[in-house]
Structure 1
Amino acid sequence: MLDSIINTTLLDDVMKEDPTTNSFQDFIATLSGHEDSLLVMSGTMGNRVALRTALLAPPYSVLLVPSNGHHLTLKDVEKHANLRDDVYDYPTRIISLENTLSGTIMPMEDTREISSWARSQTPPIHMQLDGARLWEAVNAGAGTLKEYTSCFDSVSLCFTKGLGAPIGSIVIGNLAFIKRARWMRKILGGGIRASGILCAPARVAVEQVFLGGRLRQSQDTPQQFSKLWLSLGRKLQHPTETNMVWLDLEPTGIDEERFADLAENAGVKTTRGHLQGRVVFHYQICDRALDALVNLFVELLKSKRSVFWE
């Protein structure tokens, strides 16, 4: 990635002058089966740009309520969507899904059912996907990238997180949508000069990490870790389907600060104050750190004098 940054072009993306950026946006659009795409600074900006682009004017409502605790289903959509066009109503204009959600995968069958229903309405309801971690779902074999993105009118994908690029996300849609999205990006302060310095490492991340198969390690390891945790008589908050493990710490009496201390002593960095039992595995985590963490947990959880119960 560093080599790609050193050798990239440094022209202006606001004026659509940078060949590295233009080529990369065309590459992602083709990879996802859409007409066009737009580089943005972050996943938060990508989601906001997509929503602002799709929602032309209020009033409206956005639907994002899963009743099964795992993923939104067509039954949820049909129950909660407001299809009336009355002065006292707030019609549902967008169905916003997230895949993965807490590391769990939105099934392809449910995605297609909701998409088909949304597009059959008059007017059609815009389908938007927060796909920051969609790479993980695809890598787990839940469906191809094009199969998932074809169900949506707009998609936001992130090049940091699991792919490891230093910065950047991208919004995908048709030509008219991306043209308007450029306005929204400018309004939000997202115009990028010398944008090649962002696109060059992002392309390396997509080609070498996603297409190159490196994400497999970030999913094999958490599966082993989850099985170990369960074998010790512990529970998970959510099933381990991709690169996230959600440890149920409360029944064990484990203090999160102590958990973070022990993990970092073993060479594994955690996010203090936001842990909530979530452990996210990256393909670049070294085996030595993981072995140290696993061995530590085994000894502590098996010991009656564990420091977790001091």
Structure 2
Amino acid sequence: MDPKLRAIIEQVKVDILAPAQEADNEAQLKEVSRSFFSDTITVPTKAMYEYAVRASVGDAVFREPCTSAFEEHMAQLTGKEAALFVSSGTLGNQLAIRTHLLQPPFSILTDVRSHINSYEAGGAAMHSGAYPIPVTPSNGHHLTLEDIKAKAVLGSDIHFAPTHLICLENTLNGMIFPQNDIIKIAKFARENDILMHLDGARLWHVAVETRLPLSELCAPFDSASLCLSKGLGAPIGTCLVGSKVFINKACWFRKAFGGGMRQTGILAASAAYALSHNFPQLPRVHALARRLQRGLEELGVGILCPAETCMVFFDPSTIGVEYGEVERHAAALPEPITLKGSRLVVHIQTTVQAIDDFLRLVSELRDEKVKEGFILSTSQTFANGMTRKYLE
């Protein structure tokens, strides 16, 4: 071989595996099992990978058999005509917005707390030229028809950007959006030629709690984006669903956004494994979240948002403790626990031991504050109107 070419080949070579990669992966799984930071951090299991490596190896920009089979299943599952496998929930939402909206000016209505409004880098304005109208739910829990009516821009006044799309999120902060309210909003939207999109990143949790099939939950919407790496434990992926015309157009934008992927069979297979094997674990996840909430309440910790599904929002100030104290002490445990701020997320790889260890830590911090003279409150009323009772 030509020496210059050999030198280039040697430069290109790389081995990214650590010397003890398998042991490192086991350590990562243990770390994840003791993290309440997010449900996006779950790690693929050996069983998932063993299933995934058997997948087809076609090019998904043209047609990839396993990916196509997965998309067909998702369309059928959600009661829609077609589906599109994409890399992330953000991409799924942004493709939906861009595909639905044709020519500015237009506005979109969404919950002020939603991912589309707060956590997608201003994508609606950047990609679609859409003016976002964030709406604060008057009941502190979910948007109602009255909330939507108060903010929707109807008519043809040239001073305002008319509302062409309503984007709802279910769950939001782990809270379930009541289907009856969604149906009322959808009826109003149809009457006013407004389209409906669902950010259903954690819609799987809603199906488990309400016992409503995915098709019924998606029925009021023109499109929906369902995440496979949040809660379900797939390594990557979201499915965008809607009509055939809608999905065909979304394919164009996926390509234009740089989101066209090639040999995605292994990713689609991982997602399929997650549906079959990880979705059934969600009832256990919800039970663990409720166990976590009960334990905190028994200690006198404030509950800002109860565990309707997989999340608990807590306020340790009721026992004289700050968030930073909890985080520092949790990170300093012999087997560290990871958390950040008020949100505690339980996922399919969370262990009972992690929950018990966290509650034990909070109990110890509480006892220290009492010894220092902190007087525990017997009750606390929070911004969402809920009053919780605590032990003295």
The TM-score with structure 1 as length reference comes to 0.91
Task: Please state whether the residue corresponding to 1:62 is helix, strand or coil.
Answer: strand
Partner residue of 1:260? Answer: 327
- Partners in 1 of 2:319 and 2:93 — Cα distance? 37
Q: Deviations over 1:124-181 (max 9, x none)?
A: 2110111101111111126321111001001011001200000011101000000000
**Runs of 5+ unmatched residues, structure 1:** none
| Letter of the 2:326 counterpart | F
Could you say what secondary structure the match of 1:90 adopts?
coil
Shift of 1:7: 0.8
Q: Give the match's secondary structure for 2:231.
A: helix
- Tell me what 2:114 maps to: none
- Give the match for residue 96 of structure 1: 167
Does 134-143 or 153-162 show the bigger shift?
A: 134-143
Q: CA deviation at 1:182?
A: 0.4
Letter of the aligned partner of 2:50 in structure 1? D
User: Which residue number corresponds to residue 270 of structure 1?
Assistant: 338
Distance 1:230 1:155 in 2: 36
User: SS of the residue aligned with 1:68?
Assistant: coil
Q: What is the match of residue 67 of structure 1?
A: 138
Aligned-residue offset at 1:229: 1.1
Residues 1:269 and 1:10: Cα distance change in structure 2 (over 3 Å): farther
Cα distance in 2 for partners of 1:254, 1:40 equals 42
Moved more, 188-197 or 286-295: 286-295
CA apart distance, 1:250? 4.1
Aligned pair partner of 1:23 in 69, 73, 91: 69
Q: In structure 1, how many angstroms separate the alpha carbons of the residues matched to 2:59 and 2:312?
A: 41
Q: Give secondary structure in 2 for the equivalent of 1:95.
A: strand
Q: Is the Cα contact below 8 Å between 1:108 and 1:142 reproduced in 2?
A: no
Other structure's SS at 1:163 match: coil
Partner of 2:34: none
> How far does the alpha carbon of each residue in 1:235-270 deviate from its partner, in whole angstroms, 9 at most, with x for none?
111122110010113444433333223334264643
State how far apart, in whole Å, the 1-side matches of 2:203 and 2:371 are. 38
| Residue 117 of structure 1 pairs with residue 188 of structure 2 | yes
Task: Name the counterpart of 1:42.
Answer: 88
The match for 1:173 is 242
Number of the residue aligned with 2:61: 14
Change (3 A) 1:234 1:270: same
Question: May I ask how many residue pairs the two structures share in their alignment?
Answer: 300
Counterpart secondary structure, 2:225? strand
2:151 to 64, 69, 80: 80
Matched, 1:3 2:50: yes
Kept in 1, the 8 Å contact 2:326–2:362? The answer is no
Q: CA RMSD in A?
A: 1.8
Deviation digits for residues 110-132 of structure 1 (CA, Å, limit 9, x no counterpart): 011111111122xx211011110
Which structure has the bigger radius of gyration? 2
% same residue? 40
State the AA in 2 paired with 1:290.
Answer: I
1:306, distance to aligned residue in structure 2 (A): 7.4
How far apart, CA to CA, are the structure 2 residues paired with 1:140 and 1:32?
17
Out of 248-257 and 68-77, give the one that drifted further.
248-257
Measure how far apart 1:88 and its partner are: 2.2
Runs of 5+ unmatched residues, structure 2:
1-47, 111-134, 375-392
